[in-house]
Chains A and B, each alone.
Chain A
């Protein structure tokens, strides 16, 4: 039986460390193990170093570090099967929720948003990350691991971007665009040239690359071009200006014909206030869109037009606007109760979407308010004619 001295034990421990075993527990286990072997099997006057090196070689196939890697992988992936199952279950649940959400959305039934958010959320935060962790374990080369990481990241970003877009949350466009850029200019080239060189994966790589390219292309087809946005904005601004003009003319005609009529509601303070509120809100919306209180016929030459910003966003930015819209709602209720109800249904009740639907686009809101003002004018005409 061989007797190891302290120097030799330090020598072995150093060698184990030098060969990449960093877990302290594992170091001491391996040290004790090899010491036992040496003590049991080496003769008293045997060659320590030679025996040590030939013994430690039997511990591994290529490198001693394998043992540590295997340990870490067992420790990390002790839940491998649970992870795999969770991935599959979460995938099925997310896809089902998304499908259900979309069906509800098309049927315009409640619960659509919940289904879609949970579906996409589960996809982005459970399914895709687990898929990434499991896939990365199968890969040996760092390049492939990075590739899978990039692909997953772009995928998560894209699904979240679409979710943000349909929920009108901020940052959606940025997320979708970033994911597309990563996919097209980083992921795709690396993926293509790695897979293309290998005869075994060549066909699959080409097919997948075509699918990715087509997918991104189709995605971009759905995006409105800046020129398209401009055309749409100009058209909507024109519509709005025409509506304003009609309103103005109506008002003028009514005032002319009713000049001598004491019934003119426009002069009553509550109706006056109602009209004034409408004007104030319109002014604020226009200001938010173009930066000036009014927008004239010559808007095209100034290169400004009403965009498709949303009223609720402006309301968040401006407390005054919120108060005005709330006040408008009260005035409208009041008007309906005081005039419409008393006239026995001959007058039109007032409705305007912006009063209770804050997520309207600004031009929709503007036109809605104009309709409201037109209703007041028509009611006045009905009153005058009725008398």
Chain B
């Protein structure tokens, strides 16, 4: 099952921040691949959603960037700024809270063994 883009949209920033928290620095393609890998191909981040969010997070001072030349092209690595580390924690705990609320709201029985 591949999730709808609407579901992904609200959590995209949280996903990016969590990945960068665990991996120090990543570039765009790497992020999409890691997400695919970790979710067994169930979440595909689209380029059209990923890059605008990365740029916005950078403008907000949540991410810092480094550039490296790969032959003729430039690769931009993203990592969390000190401020971003806090934001990352906040976003993840906010989402955990949200999931609990949704579970209750939608009356979802979790079957964790």
Binding site for B on A (CB under 8 A): 6, 9-10, 13, 23, 25-26, 28-33, 35-37, 58-61, 66-67, 70-71, 73-75, 78
From 88 to 105 in chain B, residues with beta carbon under 8 angstroms from any chain A beta carbon are none
Query: Could you tell me the distance between the alpha carbons of A188 and B65 in the complex, rounded to whole angstroms?
Result: 50
Which of A10, A26, A58, A74 gathers the greatest number of chain B CB atoms within 10 Å? A74
Given the interface contacts A29-B54, A32-B27, A71-B56, does A59 sit within 8 Å of B73 by beta carbon? no
Closest 10 CB pairs of A and B: A36-B29, A74-B56, A71-B52, A70-B52, A28-B74, A59-B47, A33-B29, A71-B55, A32-B75, A74-B52
- Contact assessment for A25 and B29 in the assembled complex, using a CB-CB cutoff below 8 Å: no
Query: Could you tell me the distance between the alpha carbons of A25 and B49 in the complex, rounded to whole angstroms?
Result: 15
Query: Could you tell me the distance between the alpha carbons of A37 and B27 in the complex, rounded to whole angstroms?
Result: 13
- Contact assessment for B55 and A25 in the assembled complex, using a CB-CB cutoff below 8 Å: yes
- Contact assessment for B56 and A30 in the assembled complex, using a CB-CB cutoff below 8 Å: no
Q: Is B48 an interface residue (CB 8 A)?
A: yes
Give chain B's interface secondary structure class: helix
CB distance from A71 to the nearest CB of B (A): 4
- Contact assessment for B74 and A32 in the assembled complex, using a CB-CB cutoff below 8 Å: yes
Given the interface contacts A32-B75, A33-B28, does A26 sit within 8 Å of B59 by beta carbon? no
- Contact assessment for B76 and A59 in the assembled complex, using a CB-CB cutoff below 8 Å: no
For B49, what are the chain A residues with a Cβ–Cβ distance below 8 Å? 70
CB distance from B94 to the nearest CB of A (A): 15
Pick from A26, A35, A60: contact of B55, CB below 8 A.
A26
Query: Could you tell me the distance between the alpha carbons of A23 and B59 in the complex, rounded to whole angstroms?
Result: 14
CB distance from B30 to the nearest CB of A (A): 8
- Contact assessment for B73 and A31 in the assembled complex, using a CB-CB cutoff below 8 Å: yes
Binding site for A on B (CB under 8 A): 27-29, 32, 46-49, 51-56, 59-60, 67, 70-76
- Contact assessment for B51 and A61 in the assembled complex, using a CB-CB cutoff below 8 Å: no
Query: Could you tell me the distance between the alpha carbons of A73 and B52 in the complex, rounded to whole angstroms?
Result: 9
For A36, what are the chain B residues with a Cβ–Cβ distance below 8 Å? 29
Query: Could you tell me the distance between the alpha carbons of A73 and B60 in the complex, rounded to whole angstroms?
Result: 14
Pick from A10, A23, A37, A70: contact of B48, CB below 8 A.
A70
- Contact assessment for A30 and B47 in the assembled complex, using a CB-CB cutoff below 8 Å: yes
CB distance from B11 to the nearest CB of A (A): 16
- Contact assessment for A30 and B51 in the assembled complex, using a CB-CB cutoff below 8 Å: yes
- Contact assessment for A6 and B72 in the assembled complex, using a CB-CB cutoff below 8 Å: yes
Pick from B28, B59, B72: contact of A29, CB below 8 A.
B28
Query: Could you tell me the distance between the alpha carbons of A26 and B47 in the complex, rounded to whole angstroms?
Result: 11
Given the interface contacts A25-B55, A74-B53, does A35 sit within 8 Å of B60 by beta carbon? no
For B53, what are the chain A residues with a Cβ–Cβ distance below 8 Å? 74
Query: Could you tell me the distance between the alpha carbons of A67 and B50 in the complex, rounded to whole angstroms?
Result: 9
Query: Could you tell me the distance between the alpha carbons of A32 and B50 in the complex, rounded to whole angstroms?
Result: 14
Between-chain CB contacts (< 8 Å), 6 pairs: A9-B71, A26-B51, A35-B70, A67-B51, A67-B52, A70-B48
Q: B54 — nearest CB in chain A belongs to which residue?
A: A29
Which of A9, A31, A33, A73 gathers the greatest number of chain B CB atoms within 10 Å? A33
For B75, what are the chain A residues with a Cβ–Cβ distance below 8 Å? 28, 32
- Contact assessment for A59 and B74 in the assembled complex, using a CB-CB cutoff below 8 Å: no
- Contact assessment for A32 and B76 in the assembled complex, using a CB-CB cutoff below 8 Å: yes
Pick from A25, A26, A35, A37: contact of B73, CB below 8 A.
A35
- Contact assessment for B56 and A78 in the assembled complex, using a CB-CB cutoff below 8 Å: yes
CB distance from B9 to the nearest CB of A (A): 11
- Contact assessment for A28 and B76 in the assembled complex, using a CB-CB cutoff below 8 Å: yes
Given the interface contacts A36-B29, A67-B47, A71-B55, does A78 sit within 8 Å of B60 by beta carbon? yes
Q: A59 — nearest CB in chain B belongs to which residue?
A: B47
For B72, what are the chain A residues with a Cβ–Cβ distance below 8 Å? 6, 9-10
For A60, what are the chain B residues with a Cβ–Cβ distance below 8 Å? 47-48
For B54, what are the chain A residues with a Cβ–Cβ distance below 8 Å? 29
Which of B28, B46, B67, B72 gathers the greatest number of chain A CB atoms within 10 Å? B72
CB distance from A5 to the nearest CB of B (A): 9
Query: Could you tell me the distance between the alpha carbons of A9 and B70 in the complex, rounded to whole angstroms?
Result: 11
For B67, what are the chain A residues with a Cβ–Cβ distance below 8 Å? 28
- Contact assessment for B48 and A66 in the assembled complex, using a CB-CB cutoff below 8 Å: yes
- Contact assessment for B76 and A25 in the assembled complex, using a CB-CB cutoff below 8 Å: yes
CB distance from B53 to the nearest CB of A (A): 7
Query: Could you tell me the distance between the alpha carbons of A23 and B74 in the complex, rounded to whole angstroms?
Result: 14
Q: B53 — nearest CB in chain A belongs to which residue?
A: A74
For A32, what are the chain B residues with a Cβ–Cβ distance below 8 Å? 27-29, 70, 73-76
CB distance from B27 to the nearest CB of A (A): 7
For A58, what are the chain B residues with a Cβ–Cβ distance below 8 Å? 46-47
Q: A67 — nearest CB in chain B belongs to which residue?
A: B48
